[in-house]
Amino acid sequence: MHLLSHATEYVLKHPLAFARQTVRGFAGNQGMLLASAIANYALLSVLPLLILSVIALSHVIEPAELFDTLGRYLEWLVPSQSRAVLADVSSFLDNGATIGVVLLVTMLFFSSLAFSVLEKAMAVIFAHRKAVQKRHALVSAILPYSFMLLLSTALLVVTVGSVALQSIAQENVHLLGRDWSLLGLSGLLLSLFDFGVQTAILTVFYLILPVGRTRLHHALIGAVTAAAIWGVIHLILVWYFATLSKASIVYGSLTTAVVALFTMEIAATLLLFGAQVISEYERL
């Protein structure tokens, strides 16, 4: 009785061959070019999305706690530039009622373009499925805004979770005659919590965006792969921007936009690469 599928056994026995196969497939599908288009449109919609999310969630959560969480995740997305983005977001908070319509139209337009490109990229990567039944146009039109709602809900969840975990850091446990601080434990739990949220969001992407059925454990494989690689790349980016980067000297006032575009292109590349992992795994 086989406990593992044929595909899983192959990957475990030949990890490097599977990795080469995935990279070749990704290059053949012009993954970098597709990721560049996604990143361009996503960059134009991310700031309006953040502003509108903060305006909406500030009625539920204390703005200070919301900005603390948002700053941590922006540092994850745009290393070294989170303060500049937060400053732009906070400057709109008091005027949200007067600019909400403009922001909403901007976000809806560019996010729909980004998701349209993303949907086409998924169709290229999962071409082997030969899906006869195409997704209804109305479903494709609704998907971007459903994901916007998902991301806003995720921001609410991680804010509440972060506050709870940070409160643990203030506690001490009396054990073996000593008081032990839970600061280190809360930091570890916060890192695991962040990784879990990233993996969950990516899993939803891989389950819904490709036309055709994606199995849950296949989506998890792609999500964990993309999230783990991004974790490593993020550490490298943080070190690079803190020690070697001269972006602020070269680009001046455009530094935030350049760094944001660069990191979002990496994130879009990994999003598509995770989908390529699922595609190659299905082919085995």
Q: Please determine, for residue 215, whether its predicted confidence score (pLDDT) is greater than 80.
A: yes
Nearest alpha carbon to residue 148 among 48, 34, 252: 48
Label residue 23 by pLDDT band (50, 70, 90): very high
**pLDDT, tens only, 68-98:** 777 777 777 777 777 777 777 777 666 655 5
Q: CA 182 → CA 96, 165, 173, 176, 177, distances in Å?
A: 39, 10, 7, 15, 16
* Number of independent structural domains in the chain: 1
| pLDDT beyond 70 at 179 | no
pLDDT in tens, 90-124: 776 666 555 556 666 776 777 777 788 888 888 88
Which tokens in the block code for residue 90?
């906070």
Which residue in this structure is represented by tokens 């962040």? 194
The alpha-carbon radius of gyration of the chain (Å, integer) is 21
Whether 45 maps to a domain, the answer reads yes
User: Within a domain: residue 170?
Assistant: no
Report the 10 Å Cβ neighbour count for 278: 25
The reply to whether 275 falls in a domain is yes
Residue 25 belongs to some domain of the structure: yes
- The pLDDT of residue 184: 54
Q: Is residue 182 part of a domain?
A: no
Give the pLDDT of residue 1: 45
60 in any annotated domain: yes
Listed ranges 6-10, 157-161, 167-171, 174-178; the one with the highest mean pLDDT: 6-10
Measure the CA–CA gap between 218 and 125, rounded to whole angstroms: 14
Average pLDDT estimate for 229-238: 86
Instruction: Judge whether residue 24 has pLDDT over 90.
Output: yes
Residue 211: inside a domain, yes or no? yes
Amino acid at 105: V
Q: Is residue 231 part of a domain?
A: yes
Note down the domain range covering 89.
14-125+136-163+192-283
Whether the model clears a pTM of 0.85, i.e. scores above it, the answer is no
Nearest by Cα to 256 from 75, 73, 25, 81: 81
Tally Cβ neighbours within 10 Å of residue 206. 25
19-to-25, 45, 156, 207, 273 alpha-carbon distances in Å: 10, 33, 36, 22, 11
Contact (Cβ atoms closer than 8 angstroms) between residue 28 and residue 40: no
Q: Indicate the burial class of 81 (C-beta count within 10 angstroms; 0-12, 13-18, 19 or more).
A: buried
